[in-house]
Amino acid sequence: MSPQRALLPRRTARSRVEIHLHLEGSISPARLRALWEVSGRDPSLPSNPESLYRHRSFPEFLQHFAQITKALNRPEDLAQITTDLCRRLKRQGVAAAEVFFSPVILTRRGIPFLEMLDAMDEAAARERARGGPALAWILDGVRQWGPGGMEENLRCAAMAAGRILGIGIGGDERSVPAEAFAALFHAARQMGLRTVAHAGEFDGPESVWKAVEVLGAERIGHGIRSAEDPLLLAMLRRRRIPLEVCPTSNLRTGVVRRWHDHPLPRLVAAGIRITVNTDDPALFRTSLHTEYQALQRRLGLGEAAALRIQTEGVRASFLSPSDKRRILQRVKVTNSTSRLIGRKTKS
Ligand SMILES: [Zn+2]
């Protein structure tokens, strides 16, 4: 079966694509509070949801992410956060998004996977019929849970044949070596699933080497520390492996200390395929629009470079060639229109 995505109706096509975005990281503080009102707040959590949205370190961010998932207890909760996400993406001009979801966190609490997926798919279809984005799901494994968690992801994907785009791996990069997951990534590809991996975010270039050479990942989540290794850069360039860079996320988790230190401009200069994404938009108080603004305002890229990154986001997605062409055409039209408006305003 083809792992390519379903066609986008022309009327919903917009000019942006997001390829690194976690469903659980899109839950706003207001939604979190509302979910607590329905099923009660886990007593281990703070009474003020806002405190889960500021992170002093990467480990603390991972802890907050896990704590927020405790508010998800019913398939309806998943439907609600999917609806919220679709509406936000629509406002951001997003035509399609490849969204991470970590089902094992919830199946281990007794919520059946197919009930969750049905609720999420129904919500996404409802919003898409109203001009929202096309969503596709990537099941994300929690690295520190070891291969057992990833096996459960593959079982979930097998249960929902044709409804899951791929698998990924996230969490603590230093916890379990890539070799432990190699056979499972291979098995996923045999099932027709696409494979991606978080690497080179918190851990160094070695982690990216392993994601490519041991796991066979087609795209790298973050990968920013590749900038430290010229041989790795040459390999990424030669094999045309895209990086899913999430600039604000890197600042908020403390992986990068200041905007001035962010390696994105160096990666662009090195000829690496760069895309820009939000990662966990609510947890990092960002949006795709903000990320594109940051390219020029914070990272000093010119308009042409920012446009190339937007285009790369479409090309690096797992959409079908015809869907890519349709969105790229819209990027071209949107860009030439805004340039025209800019010229008229100046004159
Ligand atoms: Zn991520």
Taking the centre of ligand 1 as the mean of its atom positions, its distance from the CA of residue 97, in whole angstroms, is: 14
Q: Does domain 12-346 have CATH number 3.20.20.140?
A: yes
Interval 276-282 mean pLDDT: 97
Taking the centre of ligand 1 as the mean of its atom positions, its distance from the CA of residue 109, in whole angstroms, is: 22
pLDDT tens digit string along 198-222?
999 999 999 999 999 999 999 999 9
Q: Is the pLDDT of residue 247 over 50?
A: yes
Containing 331, the helix (H) or strand (E) segment is helix 321-346
Q: Is the pLDDT of residue 254 over 70?
A: yes
- Report which of 236, 219, 297 is spatially closest to residue 265, judged by C-alpha positions: 297
Taking the centre of ligand 1 as the mean of its atom positions, its distance from the CA of residue 333, in whole angstroms, is: 31
Taking the centre of ligand 1 as the mean of its atom positions, its distance from the CA of residue 262, in whole angstroms, is: 17
Model confidence at 170, pLDDT cuts 50, 70, 90, reads very high
Model confidence at 337, pLDDT cuts 50, 70, 90, reads low
- H helices of 298-320, in order, are 303-315
Catalytic residues: 201
Taking the centre of ligand 1 as the mean of its atom positions, its distance from the CA of residue 170, in whole angstroms, is: 6
Interval 242-263 mean pLDDT: 97
Whether 71 and 36 have beta carbons less than 8 Å apart is answered as: yes
* 206: Cβ contacts below 8 Å, ≥ 6 apart: none
Question: Where in the chain does DSSP place strands (E)?
Answer: 16-22, 94-101, 134-142, 166-170, 194-199, 219-222, 243-245, 274-276
Taking the centre of ligand 1 as the mean of its atom positions, its distance from the CA of residue 245, in whole angstroms, is: 9
Looking at residue 345, its pLDDT comes to 40
Q: Is the pLDDT of residue 327 over 50?
A: yes
pLDDT tens digit string along 299-319?
999 999 999 999 999 999 999
Percent helix / strand / coil, the chain, rounded to 5: 55, 15, 30
* 266: Cβ contacts below 8 Å, ≥ 6 apart: 227
Q: Is the pLDDT of residue 341 over 90?
A: no
Question: How many whole angstroms separate alpha carbon 89 and alpha carbon 16?
Answer: 9
Taking the centre of ligand 1 as the mean of its atom positions, its distance from the CA of residue 198, in whole angstroms, is: 7
* 148: Cβ contacts below 8 Å, ≥ 6 apart: none
Q: Is the pTM of this model over 0.85?
A: yes
Question: How many whole angstroms separate alpha carbon 51 and alpha carbon 283?
Answer: 10
Q: Is the pLDDT of residue 140 over 90?
A: yes
Q: Is the pLDDT of residue 8 over 60?
A: no
Taking the centre of ligand 1 as the mean of its atom positions, its distance from the CA of residue 325, in whole angstroms, is: 26
pLDDT tens digit string along 98-139?
999 999 999 999 999 999 999 999 999 999 999 999 999 999
Whether 58 and 253 have beta carbons less than 8 Å apart is answered as: yes
What is the bridge-based pairing of β-strands 16-22 and 94-101? parallel
